[in-house]
């Protein structure tokens, strides 16, 4: 019996060399401490596992084939979830923020019909944009930015049959859109700015097209206007800026001020040997309007890296070279997305509007030096860092 007790005492010998006897309070306390420590470690381990599983998973796709396959399979709801912050910030209701397929199909059908109608004849758009241009001044680089903003918004609104706006309203609306757009990413409340933006739009004359959009979207007219204006304005403004810089004093856009201008002018060669369409495509390639196409699903957050994809398969991808679009070999390009969620716009419609905008202001812009343009474009919203 004494031998078994000696063996048991050795087994119960602690790290400090103390002996704990069964039934004695020192052993009970030591056992309690061990159990308490084990429980705490288990709780910490479970908490760590919970936090890891709870944290949203993220994935970036930078391969063209993989990106196309993913976007073709992604749902409307996955896109809407990724853009939910814009719905909350602006109150807009379009297929970018609403995931219902029936709504998507009806909305896109209506927009495509409108685009087809207004792009058959560009004369009304040119006339309205010219009226806006004639009310502007071009005394500084900042005023060039304002001119681009005002003319782009004039064209965007004319295309959806909205009239009755003033220059100061356009400039203020553009500023508010920029502020709300940027703040929405950080979650900052922009209710005051949104209310001011709504009050500006309510002063404009709204046509039947917006009325129909508002009905199918179940939103007020001002939200229906923004549902079209925001993506159009953001796209066009950010394409015009780099082309202004790269075409400075080398290309004239005069053909696009003619009342009968058409897509034929877009595919005609400029003075430097490549087409105007190639110029637009290269700008969209090197300075994509949307740098990341995002989707959110049960797995987590997935982003398609458009900047990386637009470098795939091109020679000297970091350089600005519209001539590359005139050759037989072309790399990867998906400026407007892919699959069912592809933007209804394309490089031809965007190209025509961009060329009209530049044609209307190129004489005034030519009085500035190229370095002056680089400075203000590099500091434009979104930081468009221009390639040499």
Write the pLDDT tens digit of every residue in 287-340: 999 999 999 998 899 999 999 999 999 999 999 999 999 987 789 999 999 988
Write the pLDDT tens digit of every residue in 210-236: 999 999 999 999 999 999 999 999 889
Separation CA 129–CA 123 (nearest Å) = 10
Q: Is residue 7 part of a domain?
A: no
pLDDT of residue 374: 80
pLDDT of residue 381: 45
Of the candidates 315, 310, 278, 314, which has an alpha carbon nearest to the alpha carbon of residue 293?
310
The number of folded domains in the chain is 1
Instruction: Assign residue 63 the CATH number of its domain.
Output: 1.10.630.10
Helix (H, G, I), strand (E, B) or coil at 344: coil
pLDDT of residue 380: 57
Do 79 and 96 meet the contact criterion of CB atoms below 8 Å apart?
Answer: yes
Q: Is residue 308 part of a domain?
A: yes
Task: Give residues with Cβ within 8 angstroms of 179, minimum separation 6.
Answer: 190, 193
pTM: 0.83
Q: Is residue 22 part of a domain?
A: no
Q: Is residue 43 part of a domain?
A: no
Q: Which residues of the chain have pLDDT under 50?
A: 1-2, 4-20, 22-23, 381-388
Give residue 129's domain range.
56-378
Q: Is residue 172 part of a domain?
A: yes
pLDDT of residue 187: 80
Helix (H, G, I), strand (E, B) or coil at 376: helix
Query: Distances from the Cα of 234 to the Cαs of 9, 13, 61, 315, 326, in angstroms?
Result: 79, 74, 24, 29, 27
Of the candidates 174, 184, 179, which has an alpha carbon nearest to the alpha carbon of residue 86?
184
Q: Is residue 386 part of a domain?
A: no
Mean pLDDT of the chain: 87
Q: Is residue 76 part of a domain?
A: yes
Q: Is residue 13 part of a domain?
A: no
């Amino acid at each position: 019996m004494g031998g078994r007790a000696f063996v048991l005492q050795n087994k119960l010998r602690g790290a400090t060399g103390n002996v704990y006897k069964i039934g004695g309070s020192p052993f009970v306390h030591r056992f309690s401490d061990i159990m308490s420590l084990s429980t705490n470690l288990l709780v910490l381990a479970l908490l760590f596992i919970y936090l890891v599983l709870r944290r949203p998973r993220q994935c970036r796709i930078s391969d063209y084939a993989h990106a196309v396959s993913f976007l073709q399979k992604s749902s409307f709801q996955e896109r809407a979830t990724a853009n939910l912050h814009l719905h909350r910030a602006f109150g807009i209701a379009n297929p970018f923020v609403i995931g219902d397929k029936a709504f998507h199909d009806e909305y896109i059908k209506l927009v495509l019909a409108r685009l087809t109608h207004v792009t058959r004849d560009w004369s009304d758009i040119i006339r309205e944009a010219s009226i806006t241009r004639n009310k502007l001044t071009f005394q500084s680089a900042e005023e060039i930015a304002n001119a681009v903003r005002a003319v782009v918004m004039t064209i965007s609104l004319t295309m959806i049959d909205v009239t009755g706006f003033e220059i100061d309203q356009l400039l203020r609306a553009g500023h508010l859109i920029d502020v709300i757009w940027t703040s929405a990413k950080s979650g900052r409340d922009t209710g005051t700015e949104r209310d001011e933006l709504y009050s500006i739009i309510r002063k404009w004359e709204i046509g039947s097209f917006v009325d129909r959009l508002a009905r199918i979207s179940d939103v007020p007219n001002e939200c229906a206007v923004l549902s079209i204006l925001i993506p159009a304005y953001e796209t066009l403004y950010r394409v015009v800026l780099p082309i202004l810089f790269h075409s400075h004093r080398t290309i004239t856009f005069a053909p696009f001020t003619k009342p009968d201008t058409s897509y034929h002018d877009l595919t005609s060669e400029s003075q430097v040997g490549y087409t105007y369409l190639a110029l637009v495509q290269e700008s969209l390639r090197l300075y994509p309007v949307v740098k990341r196409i995002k989707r959110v699903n049960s797995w987590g957050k997935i982003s398609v890296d458009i900047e990386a994809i637009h470098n795939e398969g091109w020679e000297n991808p970091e350089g600005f070279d519209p001539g590359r679009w005139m050759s037989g070999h072309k790399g990867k390009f998906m400026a407007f997305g892919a699959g069912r969620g592809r933007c209804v716009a394309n490089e031809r419609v965007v190209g025509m509007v961009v060329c009209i905008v530049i044609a209307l202001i190129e004489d005034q812009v030519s009085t500035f030096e190229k370095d002056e343009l680089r400075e203000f474009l590099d500091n434009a919203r979104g930081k468009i860092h221009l390639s040499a």
